[in-house]
């Protein structure tokens, strides 16, 4: 009954099959772009180092991932910024 209700309101149940499908998409995306997970981690480290020179950020909150929309691949960096009073400004 719950699965029928979920379908009617548009909710997708989280299942191990759905998680496996998402992991497979990530693996295929890495293969298509020829960017290995270790290279992606190196890019993340470089971004953290460069941004940290100008703004105080929390490195553990930084996420870098590959996404795909149609035939277009994107490298997406999500870097949460602190409140303006905590930002370090270089003059």
pTM here is 0.56
Is residue 5 over pLDDT 80?
no
- Residue 1 has a pLDDT of 47
Beta strand spans in 1-79 (E) = 63-69, 72-78
| Pair of tokens at residue 76 | 């997406």
Per-residue pLDDT of 11-55, as tens digits, reads 555 677 777 777 766 666 556 667 788 888 898 999 999 999 988
On average, the pLDDT of the chain sits at 76
The answer to whether 42 and 35 are in contact (CB under 8 A) is no
Residue boundaries of the structural domains of the chain: 36-91
Cβ–Cβ contacts within 10 Å for residue 85, how many?
Answer: 5
Map tokens 């409140």 to a residue: 83
């Amino acid at each position: 009954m719950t699965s029928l209700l979920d379908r009617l309101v548009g909710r997708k149940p989280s299942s191990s099959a759905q998680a496996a499908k998402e992991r497979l998409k990530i693996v295929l995306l890495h293969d298509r772009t020829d960017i290995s997970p270790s290279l992606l981690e190196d890019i993340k480290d470089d971004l953290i180092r460069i941004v940290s020179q100008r703004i105080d950020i929390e490195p553990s909150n930084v996420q870098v991932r590959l996404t795909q929309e149609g035939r277009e691949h994107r490298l997406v960096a999500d870097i949460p910024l602190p409140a303006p009073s905590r930002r370090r400004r270089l003059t």
